[in-house]
Structures are given as C-alpha cells and as structure tokens.
Structure 1
Amino acid sequence: MRVDGAIAVVTGAASGMGLATAKALTDAGATVYGIDLRREALDEEFAQLPRARGFALDVSDSAAINEVFGRLEADHGKLDVLVNAAGVSTPGGEQQAWVDGINDRMVNAAKTGETFHPEFLNGITDADFDRVVAINLNGTFYTIRAAVELLKKAGGGSIVNFASVAGLIGLPMPAYYPASKAAIVGLTKAVAAELAPFDIRVNALAPAGVNTAMLSASGDDHVQALLALQPLKRVAEPDEVGRTVLFLASDAGKHFTGQTLSPSGGALMA
C-alpha cells in the first residue's frame, strides 16, 4: 500500500498509535505534519522520519489547530489524509492514580472471588469530564473542520478518527472516556455522509488493548483482565494499528466510508 506524494496530518503523533501511524504513512511515501502536546518527544521522534514536521499544541485549542492548517495550506495548498489519534483516558495524573486504584481492586477481587462493585460517577468532577471530552471529541471536530476545505482542494481524501472498543461495549470505567469515544463514532458517520459527494472518506478505528506506554503503566494484571474479554489473547502492536490506518488512507480502502473498524482481538464482533 502506497500513498506517494500524499500530504497528511496526524494528531497524537509523538507516541503510541499516532507515532506508528506517522511512520507507516512516511514509509509509504507521504509527507506528515504531526501534532502533539509533548514538544520534546515529538521533536525527537520526528527528527528520525523523512518528510515530517512536528507542531506542539493542544488539540482542544481550536485557534492553534487553525494556525497549523493555515501553515499547511501555505506550504502545500491541499491535504490528502487526516488522522485523529490524539486522546486521553483520564484528565491527568491525580485522576489516573484514582482510576488505577479502583482497577487494582477490581482485578484483586476477581482473583480472590471477593464481591467488588466499582463506583466512578461520584468521583468525576465537571472539569474532569469536560477536559477528556475537550481533547477526545472537540479536538477531533476542530481538526476535521479545519481540514475540510484542504481535502476538497485535493479532490478527495481520507479521514480516520480514533474511537475505542470502550465506546462500543459496556465496561466499568470513568464515563468520560467511553462517552467521548462513542461520540467519535457518531461524528464519523455524520461527517462521512456530508463529505461523500466530495470523495472524502471518513472512518473510525475502535481498538482494544494496544501495546503502548499507557497500557504498560496500568500493570500486567490489568492487561490480563483486558485480554480475558477477547478471543485473541494478545494485545495489538501499534504498528498493526498504523497499517490499518494506512489501508484506510490508501486506494486499497477507497470504498470504505462511515465505518468503524475494530482491531480488538475479537472483543467486539459486529
């Protein structure tokens, strides 16, 4: 699969699935503009990629997003591929520690046969919910809105949005994450219907466990609990997800739009 000469934007590009996607696209011949909040990590990784430029910003800042797309228009006058991989599972470190503590209790209860019902709702503040939605959902909307005219100038293209299997099946976890990821699926379908006349394809990915630093930090017991939900008893590698994005971005995926593909090891079978 090749995308020679394509101009692409990838958010969440400094690590994990976003970085794997940027690598897959550059390896296949694209020029990639990468966006991530972590300037140092982005600069370090993108220095090793051909035809790649990094921009450090928060995707929930619509003005900053518009500025990057303005730069891209001045440089290339078009866009062929947009990949929205930026996302967070919690609003920050303190909340992550709280979630990890509850997850640890769930895993230990499952081992010992103890009854334990996790409770998250009362521990979620307005600010927590708003922050996750601002990054995962609003940030995706902002980049799509900024990209549309450039995709039209290219005569068509591909948008790939990162949802999650957590937004498609019921799992006990803080509601802000699955809510934001389920919304990505609805956003994808609406935008796919609107942009189809312009030959712009819009699809979503809904992964389960992927071998990233975020997953590793949760501990092996948590990983094993996730694997218990799926028939294929291994987590996905980031480059596997990156190649799936490449498929959707290339001519090989030219008849896919409005779809949600789930590289989840069978956790979701639809």
Structure 2
Amino acid sequence: MSLNGKIAVVTGAGSGMGLATVRAFIREGATVYALDISQDNLDRELGSEQAVTTIALDIADSTAINEAFARIATEHGKLDALINAAGVNTPNRRATEWLDSINHTMMDHMKRGEAFAPEFLTDIPDEDFDRVMRINVHGTFFTIRAAAPLLKAAGGGAIVNFASVAGLVALPMPAYYPASKAAVVGMTRAVAGELAPFNIRVNALAPAGIHTALLTQSGDEHVQALLSMQPLKRLAEPEEIAETLVFLASDAGAHYTGQILSPSAGAYLAG
C-alpha cells in the first residue's frame, strides 16, 4: 500500500492518531504537511523528520488554513490526501474537569449498583458548544474546502475525516461532542457525492476506544466502563488506526467513498 511520491496533509498531527498517521505515511513514502495547534508537540515529535513540514495553527481559523494550503499550492501545486484527525471532546480544561467529575460519580454509583442519570444540558455554556463545533465541524470543513482544488489538480485523491462512534450511537455525554461528530458523518457523505466526479474519495472513521491521552485522562475506571460496551475488550492503538488511513489514502482503497468505517471493537455494529 505504497504512498510513494504522494503529498498529504494531516491535522491534529502532534499527538495521538494524527501523529501515528504522519509516521505511517512517511514510512510509506509520502511527503507530509503536519498541522497542529502546538508547535512544541510538532517540534518534539516530528522536528527531525525530513519528509515532514510542520505548521502550527488553530484548525478553527479559516484564514490560517487557507494560508497553509496556499503554501502547499506554491510548493507542490497539488495534494493527494487529507487526513482530518484534529478534534476535541471538550473545549477547555474547565469542561474536561467537569466531565471527569461526572464520569467518576457515575462510576461510583455503578460500583454500588445504583442508578445514576447524568445531566449535561443546562450546564453547557454557549461558548463551550461553539468552540467544539468550531474545531470539530468548522475546522473539518475549512480544510476540505481548501484542499479540494489541490486534490482536483492532482487528478484525484483521498480525504478521511475523523468522526466517532459517539456520532452513531446514543451515549451519555455533553451534546456538543456527538453533535459535532454526527455533523462530520453528514459532511463526509455530502462531500463524497460532490467530489466523486473528480476521482476524489471521501470517507470517515468513527472510532471508539483508542489508547490516546485524550481517552485515558479520565482514569482507568472510565476506560473499563467503555470497554464493557465493546465485544473486543481492549483499546486500539493509534498505530492500528493509522494503518487503516494508509489503506484509504492508497490505491488499495480506490473503490471506497462515502463510507463510515468504525474501528470500534464491535461497539458499533452496522446492519
């Protein structure tokens, strides 16, 4: 599944599945533009990679996105793959601590065999909902819009967006996250139809439990609760997900478009 000679953009490239994808792509011969909000993460993880150009930006800033893709146009005149791995499940540290507190309370009730109904709606400020949407939905749209002309110039290519199993099934959590990921699913299918005549394939991944800092920050009990919903009782490693992205970006994935692939250990079973 060679990517030799291909030009790729990976967002959220400084950690987790984005970082694993960058490493898998350069292993397969691609030249990668690695985008992330943290220049420190990019420098630490990818600073020594000759086939990688790092660009620090906020994915929710359309001007910064347009400038990054204008640079790619100047340097290469085309693009072969866009991987939209950037995303958040909470908008800030305060919201993360609030969610962790609720999750821990829920775990305590479960251990005692007591019912617990978490309440999120009335405690979500406008700005928290807006920020998650700006990153997960607007950011995905901004990169797709900027990438499309370069993918057309290449004669075709691949886009893979990151959704989530939370956008496919009902899970108790703040509504901004599943809403944003369901929006990514809808966007993926719409753009797949629009870009198919240009030989541009557009798919999405909807993962469940992946072994990243974003998931494990809430503690082992939370992880175990998630695993209880999966037939396969383990977290996936980011490198496993990266191999799926290599497949979708390569010629081996040439007949996949408009698909939502769910590496969820069976937590989501489409039928």
Aligned partner of 1:257 in structure 2 is 257
Alignment of 1:152-171 (within 5 A): 152-171=152-171
Q: TM-score normalized by structure 2?
A: 0.99
Secondary structure of the structure 2 residue equivalent to 1:97? helix
Q: Which amino acid aligns with 1:38?
A: S
Q: Which amino acid aligns with 1:234?
A: R
Aligned partner of 1:230 in structure 2 is 230
Aligned partner of 1:145 in structure 2 is 145
Aligned partner of 1:248 in structure 2 is 248
Report the Cα offset of residue 173 of structure 1: 0.1
Q: Which amino acid aligns with 1:52?
A: V
Aligned partner of 2:88 in structure 1 is 88
Tell me the alpha carbon deviations over residues 239-261 of structure 1, each in whole angstroms, 9 at most, x when there is no partner.
00001011100011110000000
The alignment status of 1:190 with 2:195, answered yes or no, reads no
Report the Cα offset of residue 50 of structure 1: 3.5
Aligned partner of 1:30 in structure 2 is 30
Structure 2 unaligned residues grouped into runs of 5+: none
> Is the CA contact (8 Å cut-off) linking 1:248 and 1:254 kept in structure 2?
yes
Report the Cα offset of residue 49 of structure 1: 2.6
The alignment status of 1:64 with 2:64, answered yes or no, reads yes
Alignment of 1:1-40 (within 5 A): 1-40=1-40
Secondary structure of the structure 2 residue equivalent to 1:24? helix
> Distance between the aligned counterparts of 2:255 and 2:41, measured in 1?
35
Secondary structure of the structure 2 residue equivalent to 1:29? coil
Which consecutive aligned stretches of 4+ in structure 1 deviate over 2 angstroms post-superposition? none
Report the Cα offset of residue 114 of structure 1: 1.5
> Distance between the aligned counterparts of 1:49 and 1:262, measured in 2?
30
> Distance between the aligned counterparts of 1:265 and 1:48, measured in 2?
34
Q: Which amino acid aligns with 1:96?
A: T
Which deviates further from its counterpart, 38-47 or 157-166?
A: 38-47
> Is the CA contact (8 Å cut-off) linking 1:6 and 1:29 kept in structure 2?
yes
In the comparison of the two structures, how many residue pairs are matched?
270
Aligned partner of 1:79 in structure 2 is 79
> Distance between the aligned counterparts of 2:5 and 2:241, measured in 1?
22
Secondary structure of the structure 2 residue equivalent to 1:129? helix
Report the Cα offset of residue 116 of structure 1: 1.1
Q: Which amino acid aligns with 1:208?
A: A
> Is the CA contact (8 Å cut-off) linking 1:26 and 1:50 kept in structure 2?
no
Structure 1 unaligned residues grouped into runs of 5+: none
Aligned partner of 1:108 in structure 2 is 108
> Distance between the aligned counterparts of 1:188 and 1:50, measured in 2?
32
> Distance between the aligned counterparts of 2:103 and 2:216, measured in 1?
14
Report the Cα offset of residue 218 of structure 1: 1.1
The alignment status of 1:43 with 2:43, answered yes or no, reads yes
Tell me the alpha carbon deviations over residues 134-167 of structure 1, each in whole angstroms, 9 at most, x when there is no partner.
0000000000000000000000000000000011
Secondary structure of the structure 2 residue equivalent to 1:188? helix
Q: Percent identity?
A: 63
The alignment status of 1:269 with 2:257, answered yes or no, reads no
> Distance between the aligned counterparts of 2:259 and 2:48, measured in 1?
33
Aligned partner of 1:122 in structure 2 is 122
> Distance between the aligned counterparts of 1:77 and 1:92, measured in 2?
37
Q: Which amino acid aligns with 1:135?
A: I
> Distance between the aligned counterparts of 1:26 and 1:77, measured in 2?
19
Aligned residues: CA RMSD: 0.6
Aligned partner of 1:176 in structure 2 is 176
The alignment status of 1:209 with 2:209, answered yes or no, reads yes
Tell me the alpha carbon deviations over residues 204-233 of structure 1, each in whole angstroms, 9 at most, x when there is no partner.
000001001111211000000000011000
> Distance between the aligned counterparts of 2:60 and 2:122, measured in 1?
25
> Distance between the aligned counterparts of 1:48 and 1:200, measured in 2?
31
> Is the CA contact (8 Å cut-off) linking 1:23 and 1:49 kept in structure 2?
no
> Distance between the aligned counterparts of 2:123 and 2:198, measured in 1?
44
Q: TM-score normalized by structure 1?
A: 0.99
